[in-house]
Copies of this chain bind each other. A is one copy, B any other.
């Protein structure tokens, strides 16, 4: 029983240029040297699981402002060749805020990879990724986590692009906007942002206050 160790692994997503990405770290040591893996590590003695996940994320990536929730616990006896390691996986969303997630305090190589076309992963991390993607798609459609992938102020087109990147299909602009408006969880601001040569887009913000009303009735957000 004493050889049993508990680790956390964090699958963190972001959307960039209409593409869903996950953060990966290149392993410098055996086993699986040179392959990519999720940021993670062992849980400390007096640390909650959530705290461990947050700490690992910060240590390896410098990312701080994230949405974090527990995903699933993987515990097959031989999933780690070094011995019995139970991995509590976490699911995180990066808001795309300014502090670009670069390599953190660890000197390890860190990369945002295409979530739907990842490189070869270490351990059972491919299974973890698949599970995380499933959870993400599901949460996107039935909760408001979509907003966690955006900064505080965003345009409706940006919001739509988040949905399209994750669901993997195009959405109708009019229907999308109508539904967002109907839910009443976004507030239009009196600010605009100009991205290129064209008409400036109105900025919006997520209204947690308005959202509260929905929580009771199953918080539907179906696209």
Chain A positions near chain B (C-beta within 8 angstroms): 1-6, 42-49, 70, 72-73, 75-77, 84, 86, 88, 141, 218
Number of copies: 2
Q: Could you say which residues of chain B place their CB within 8 Å of the CB of A6?
A: 4, 6, 75, 86
> CB within 8 A of A4: which of B5, B75, B77?
B5
Taking A70-B72, A72-B70 as contacts, is the C-beta distance between A46 and B77 under 8 angstroms? yes
CA distance A86 to B8 in the complex (A): 12
Q: Could you say which residues of chain B place their CB within 8 Å of the CB of A43?
A: 4, 75, 86
> CB within 8 A of A73: which of B4, B46, B47, B73?
B73
Q: Do A45 and B5 have beta carbons less than 8 Å apart?
A: no
Q: Do A48 and B73 have beta carbons less than 8 Å apart?
A: no
Q: Could you say which residues of chain B place their CB within 8 Å of the CB of A73?
A: 49, 70, 73, 88
Q: Could you say which residues of chain B place their CB within 8 Å of the CB of A72?
A: 70
Name the residue on B nearest A72 (C-beta): B70
| 15 sampled A-B residue pairs with Cβ under 8 A | A1-B44, A1-B45, A3-B45, A4-B4, A4-B5, A4-B45, A6-B75, A6-B86, A45-B84, A47-B77, A48-B76, A70-B72, A70-B73, A73-B73, A73-B88
Q: Do B75 and A88 have beta carbons less than 8 Å apart?
A: yes
Interface centre among A72, A75, A77 (most CB of B within 10 A): A75
Q: Could you say which residues of chain B place their CB within 8 Å of the CB of A76?
A: 48
